[in-house]
Structure 1
Amino acid sequence: MNATQPPGRPTAEQIERTLVGMPARHTRAQVAAGAGVSQELAQRIWRALGFAQFPDDAVAFSDADVAALRRVRSLIDGGLLDEQTVIRMARALGQTTARLAQWQAEIVIGTMVPDSRTDADLNGVLDTAKALLPDFEHLLVHVWRAQLAAAGTRLLAVADDQDERGPARVSIAVGFADLVSFTRRSRELDERALASLVEGFESRAADVVAAHGARLVKTLGDEVLFTAPAPAQAAAIALDLADSLELRIGMAYGPVVPMMGDVFGTTVNLAARLTAIARPGTILVDSELAEGLAGAPDGIEVHKIRRRPARGLGVVQPYVLRRSSS
């Protein structure tokens, strides 16, 4: 190749070799045998992680895959985890890291590569990724441990609260925040401006929720779902969000079913219905959350409004939450 000729576009093999670090050497049967697990379990774990299935004779697995499966086998053999728990953990890991990887790749490529991208630009992205890997790997583990500690602290606080009130189901505050007029604005904005709007909304919501020690459960483009251990925390989040963005917000307090990092149940459905009922710039809460705000810090007030029908839930009693005029 001529010395002045730009390098070619990176291949899938080059990307995998750069980021994974080990070449593929094993078929599906070989990786299971090397790790000492059944092919059926290896397949279930691979699917739970979110990866595509390969033909039986495809050489698609590295020594690192064998080592990872050996760790899984040792956890099962040692009685620390059973197979069902391993699959659930693998699904949580796969879904979370897939979103993280996609998001980070978009950030790096969007920052480094202009609209008129060239092969040289793409090779530069790969070189940058390789340089970032060691430091980011360390940061990833550190942040994960810190988030695990934060999750444990939240669960402990809820458990302590339940101990005081007797053997009841776990109750938390659940809130939805919905961007006003998103459908209209999505028709008016080009793709880049629309992406900027959504990212700005998600960033602001994530910052506010984290600042109050609560959890951003998920983002849905023009809507975010968050939870907070106590009504006062949820109220502070909603008011801070409403100060900076034009939103509809609905919140409810009550029992939820946590599953796969998400939350389910009537409380979640009620918060969603209140969001749909709310007028632009308004925060609506249910009677349980309003009651939980009795004696809340100065600056917060709730006002009962007329009862409203809520799809699937009958007639509900909403309250408007706002900052105190005093």
Structure 2
Amino acid sequence: MSREGPRRPTAEEIGLLLAGAPASRTRTEVAAGAGVPQELAERVWRALGFPTHADDAVAFSEADVAALTRVRTMLDRGLLDEPTVVRMARALGQTTARLAQWQAEIIIGHLLPAEGEPSDDDVARVFDTARALLPDFEHLLVHVWRAQLAAAGTRLLAMADLRPETTPDPRSETAPGRVATPEAAPGRVAMAVGFADLVAFTRRARELDERELADLVEGFEARAADIVAAHGARLVKTLGDEVLFTAPTPARAAAIALDLAGTAELRIGMAYGPVVPMMGDVYGTTVNLAARLTAIARPGTVVVDSGLAEGLAGEPGFEVRGMRRRTARGLGVVRPHLLRRSSS
């Protein structure tokens, strides 16, 4: 007697499993249930990255009411104002959307066959695995978020403590034993910024198939993330063939760069100075200068600006050699320096 195989789960079943609650309310009902003006509710949903539904579409759950009620509580207590709530929602939405997509790709890529259409058995296996993993993933997500929040707060406080009482010129000569710390104006902090770039990426992309190219990029990003984390710094973002990282001190940034530049596949440019942290990214002249220095660097080398070179004065393990002055687009004439490990 034959037995039927596992039934392919429906889209509704998958949505219920992952969302945790069935859709039972319209967007108007959610706003009313949470006591939040409809216009604010829609701004929050858009910031979170949720699609806009028709007024009579039953697309929200009791969990959405609970979430929006928490937003109203934060506003009522005066902890946040509406613009800040929307900015926080946008940060949460954009970050978790990428995280969810990335995790789904990893799990599906692990469980589904690389070739051909997945069978009902394959889809059912993904569904059952997601159901088994979801509680642990949810707990781990909150744990890692809190740990990363603590690390971010510690970094920002540490960089604030490094702000000088005076306002030295980041490109000026410094007295012996003194590290030049560029002034960080309100809203700006002084830090080291580095770009690591894969050499000849366009040519290599033409030579590799899709799977090999994906392995190359993932391997590069994973190695960069591991090295940056090991030195207590932050990987700000990855751009396929390039990563952007920040560090609170020139010495820590130099250690990261030299660990990364272990092969001729990379070239690295770094600068030290004030930056504007915004939306999890960093902006400003220091960032632009680091990018320009990356273009100057030859494969397998690390090029830094004068501010970072001065910050390494007296630091053991590093050797900095001045290069000829160059014109950096949009920044004028700069004095690059070649960073190496000290031979002593």
**TM-score, structure 2 as length reference:** 0.91
CA distance in 2, matches of 1:3, 1:245: 58
The residue number in structure 1 matching 2:78 is 79
Please, which of 295, 306, 313 is the counterpart of residue 276 of structure 1? 295
Q: CA deviation at 1:12?
A: 2.6
The residue number in structure 1 matching 2:64 is 65
Judge conservation of contact 2:48–2:89 (CA < 8 Å) in 1: yes
User: SS of the counterpart of 1:162?
Assistant: coil
Which aligned pairs between 1:5-84 and structure 2 lie closer than 5 A? Answer: 5-8=5-8, 10-84=9-83
CA distance in 1, matches of 2:264, 2:325: 27
Q: How many residues are matched?
A: 323
Q: CA deviation at 1:246?
A: 1.7
Deviations 1:71-97 (A, max 9, x none): 100110011111111001101111111
The residue number in structure 2 matching 1:126 is 127
The residue number in structure 2 matching 1:4 is 4
Judge conservation of contact 2:265–2:299 (CA < 8 Å) in 1: yes
The residue number in structure 1 matching 2:207 is 188
- Going from structure 1 to structure 2, the CA distance change for 1:280 and 1:6 (only over 3 Å counts) comes to same
Quick check: 305-314 or 114-123, which moved more?
114-123
CA distance in 2, matches of 1:50, 1:125: 25
Deviations 1:19-76 (A, max 9, x none): 1121101111111001100111111001101111111111100000000000100110
Q: CA deviation at 1:160?
A: 1.0
The residue number in structure 2 matching 1:161 is 162
The residue number in structure 2 matching 1:307 is 325
Please, which of 218, 232, 242 is the counterpart of residue 261 of structure 2? 242
Deviations 1:155-198 (A, max 9, x none): 11111111555774321000000011111111111111111111
The residue number in structure 1 matching 2:101 is 102
CA distance in 1, matches of 2:297, 2:105: 34
Q: CA deviation at 1:325?
A: 2.9
CA distance in 1, matches of 2:10, 2:330: 51
CA distance in 2, matches of 1:154, 1:165: 22
CA distance in 1, matches of 2:71, 2:106: 32
Q: Percent identity?
A: 76
Unaligned runs of 5+ in 1: none
**TM-score, structure 1 as length reference:** 0.96
Quick check: 35-44 or 164-173, which moved more?
164-173
Q: How large is the Cα RMSD of the aligned pairs? A: 1.4
Tell me which stretches of 4 or more aligned residues in structure 1 moved more than 6 Å.
none
The residue number in structure 1 matching 2:308 is 289
Deviations 1:278-325 (A, max 9, x none): 11111110000000000112x210110111111111121100101123
Q: CA deviation at 1:232?
A: 0.3
